Amino acid sequence: MTDTKADVKGARPDEQITTAPMPASQRMGAGGMTLSLTPWIVATFIMLVLPLVFTNNSALTIMNQMSITIIFALAYNMLLGQGGMLSFGHAVYAGVGGFACMHIMNASDFFASFPLPVLPFFGGLFGMGLALIIGSFSTRSAGTVFAMISLGVGQLIASSSVIIVAFFGGEEGISGDRTYAMPFFGVEFLQQIEVYYLTAGWVLISAALMYLWSRTPVGRMANAVRDNPERAEFLGYSARWVRYYSFVASGFFAGISGGLFAINYEILTEENLNATSSGLILLVTFLGGVGFFFGPILGAIVFTLVQTVLSLETELWAFYAGSLFVATVMFFPGGLAGLIMMHVPAVKLGKWKLLILPYLKTLLPAAIGILGLCALVEMTFHYRHGATGDNEMTLFWTTFDSHTVMPWLIAGAIAAIGIGIAKRTAPDLRDAWNEANTAGSKS
């Protein structure tokens, strides 16, 4: 117990409840005033080119899913990363926006004179409307109380979705048809690719808007209120109103993502509102890193890929995702973005080359060891839950009998050796890390 003091200090529940999840140096700041256009141009280019590279429909589906998650995660990070508010029911705002869009789609007379690309904006308005109501009492305090209210309200709306059939469609949800909309410059959105470009356009617009928002005085005050609400109050800002503005804006963008979901899948159910979806977006955002604007984008991309690829390979993907999440919270609270940005000083010093070899020496065996562990987990699962008589299992392109000793020994040995080597080489990595982050040469 080295940090007893800090431990005891944090013990008072009423003492500084809002704290960003990382040391001050890594917290999400407003950054400089210069707005660089380069990343946006690159992003636009990539999004334009991607469907030319991956042309099949399933890739398009994944990319659409990714885009929707990106908007939702960015909106979520307006609360968590920039405002220090942890919400356990944010899916509700996306869901309500989506349901509202679905109803617009089903109002056939109105919808026939309505260009589809504008629809997500209305989803955003409905998400914002709900956030206006809920936020009026939930943003009174941040931290634990806010989290509890968000959970309660989320559960309330999710469970009443089964009861209020007129709006939420009960158990089977509601569905519609996007192609009834007024053709938009001749495009009727019959094909997946057209929907992709619509979604991509909205991703760029909303990401840019959210980025600009984080540069406005309100966005900057959100950071101040997150770090020290008391001090912000002394400066004359109402912490509550600043939180309220962030909350409402976040609700708006969540609603946009819901609207895009409605256009993309043409069906919304209770699943879009419930706590699982809310938890998932927390997972995505935190995995990507709440400390940087691009963190949630990274999280959404990586998580969607992991989800699609892993869920094809194994039944246990949620278990791995959960483990990854807990490990991230424990060891890398900065998330993926934090990990990447950690290397900026080394790169600036021009010493990043020093890190390559130690990284290879440690991370490669560690990865192999972890794969060995995964193999053990998979074999245990197969051993316990496989149908009787079905002893054959295929893992890493090899088929073997999970009821014999040999595969267990091999997997165990791989795990032990891999992690053993990684442990051995870890001190070298630490030395190299210190060396790479120190200015001037050692010798």
Partner 1 sequence: MDLILVNLIDGLVTGLLLFMLSAGLTLIFSMMGVLNFAHASFYMLGAYFAYSISLALGFWIGLLLAPLIVGVAGAMVERYGLRRVHQYGHVPELIFTFGLALLIEELVQFVWGKNHVPYNSPEILEFTAFAIAGNSIPAYKIFMIFISVGIFVGLLYVLTKTRVGMIIQAALSYPRTVEALGHNVPLIFMGVFGVGTALAGVAGVIAGPVLSTFPGMAFVLGPIVFVAIVIGGLGSLWGALVASLLIGWITTFAKSYNIEMEAILNGIGIGTPENLSESPFRDLWSLTSPQIADILPYVLMVLILIFRPAGLFGKRIQ
- Site residues (CB under 8 A) for partner 1? 1, 3-4, 6-15, 17-22, 80, 84, 86, 88, 137-138, 140-141, 143-145, 147-149, 151-153, 155-156, 159-160, 163-167, 275, 279, 282-283, 286, 316, 318-319, 322-323, 325-326, 329-330, 333, 377, 380-381, 384-385
In the complex, the smallest distance separating the C-beta of residue 249 from partner 1, rounded to whole angstroms, is 19
**Residue number, 60 or 284, with CB nearest to partner 1:** 284
DSSP state of 334: T
Q: Which is nearer to partner 1, 57 or 160 (CB)?
A: 160
Cβ atoms of 337 and 294 closer than 8 Å? yes
Q: At what angle do helices 57-83 and 38-53 cross, to 10 degrees?
A: 150
Report the residue number, 5 or 442, with the smaller CB distance to partner 1: 5
Cβ neighbourhood burial of 302 (10 Å; 0-12, 13-18, 19+): middle
Q: State the helix-helix crossing angle for 217-227 and 192-215, rounded to 10 degrees.
A: 70
DSSP per-residue string spanning 266-292: SEE-GGGTSHHHHHHHHHHHHHH-SSS
Min dist. Cβ of residue 202 to partner 1 (A) = 28
Q: Which is nearer to partner 1, 166 or 235 (CB)?
A: 166
Contact 153, 92 (CB under 8 A): yes
CA distance 375 to 398: 11
Distance between CA atoms of 270 and 266, rounded to whole angstroms?
A: 14
As measured in angstroms, the least distance from the Cβ of 159 to partner 1 is 5
Count CB-CB contacts under 10 A for residue 158: 23
Of 51 and 279, which CB lies nearer to partner 1 in the complex structure? 279
Q: How far is the CB of 349 from partner 1 (least distance, A)?
A: 27
φ, ψ for residue 217, nearest 5 deg: -55, -40
CA-CA distance, 214 to 320, in Å (whole number)? 33
Of 164 and 182, CB closest to partner 1: 164
Nearest distance in Å: CB 142, partner 1 = 9
We find the least distance from the C-beta atom of residue 428 to partner 1, in angstroms, to be 24
Identify which of residues 12 and 442 has a Cβ nearer to partner 1 in the complex. 12
Query: What phi, psi does 42 have (nearest 5°)?
Result: -60, -45
Q: Which is nearer to partner 1, 138 or 269 (CB)?
A: 138
Nearest approach in angstroms of CB 11 to partner 1 is 5
By beta-carbon proximity to partner 1, the closer residue of 11 and 52 is 11
Phi, psi for residue 45 in degrees, rounded to 5: -60, -45
CA 83, CA 223: separation in Å to the nearest integer? 6
Minimum distance of partner 1 from residue 216's CB (angstroms): 23
Q: From the CB of 36, what's the least distance to partner 1, in Å?
A: 29
With a CB cutoff of 8 Å and minimum separation 6, the contacts of 128 are 248, 249, 251, 252, 255
